[in-house]
Structure 1
């Protein structure tokens, strides 16, 4: 209710109506006219307007045009609302780096055909210089940084485990409050 009362439109229209009524009473008092005559004239005007509205002849095509215009306005409103929702940034898309399983990781997101996001290009990076690590060593059990020669232990399940941890972090940090 407070929002309605503090709305500039409500204040403007309300002030105008109240001011007009008070000015009318003052003018009636100055002209020595019965002060209820203005109220009586106003009530007669409103009554006549209601009767005229109820007796107004409508053509069917007028109603159809009005309904078509209302439908078009509703469609435009929905389209504008939909584009505003598409423009709102998705919070978890900024989450693209983390440390887990003793390694630093970076990834991107790609959108699927049904509009959902999936983790893509997931790879470990050097914790010292940030370069992407290369699998090396006998049987590929090490990750090596070509820039600073840092090596890290690697196991085949790390990639899957990292993706599961990232998905869980997204659910807990970003999607839980929605």
Structure 2
């Protein structure tokens, strides 16, 4: 099964991810209460929130807020503890297993926190200077959010979504 092609534009005239004007990142932790995480996301109009380890600051995954928003009964009918780790998308199963074995104390979410790369085998670095053509290809490969970092991948600037790129395309005159 192939992924649908979302973006057909091949020439963004030198525009980069920085031109999308995405909001600064706000990360949460796996122990963050899910209701607090959703409140943060709704207040800032985020559809994805990066989830980082409380102690070593390693990127563990994302919380898909849109999925929870579209299915509100998922939280009300769940027997799971109402914390992010039970509802997030983990980048690596081994990281999840390792995290579950630790005794972690909750901390408050912080804007623009220094992070460490995830331990996943595949990690494509997307920076504010990445051309939009590369971002479009990234989304066309079936990935529906992009965590924008510095060149080393250890500082999160924000999260870009296909909606951000569509909004940019619609705001520009056609060639």
TM over 0.5: no
Shorter-chain TM band: under 0.3
Structure showing greater relative contact order (alpha-carbon pairs closer than 8 Å, 6 or more residues apart): 2
Q: Is the helix fraction higher in 1 or 2?
A: 1
TM-score, normalised via structure 2 length: 0.23
TM-score by length of 1: 0.23
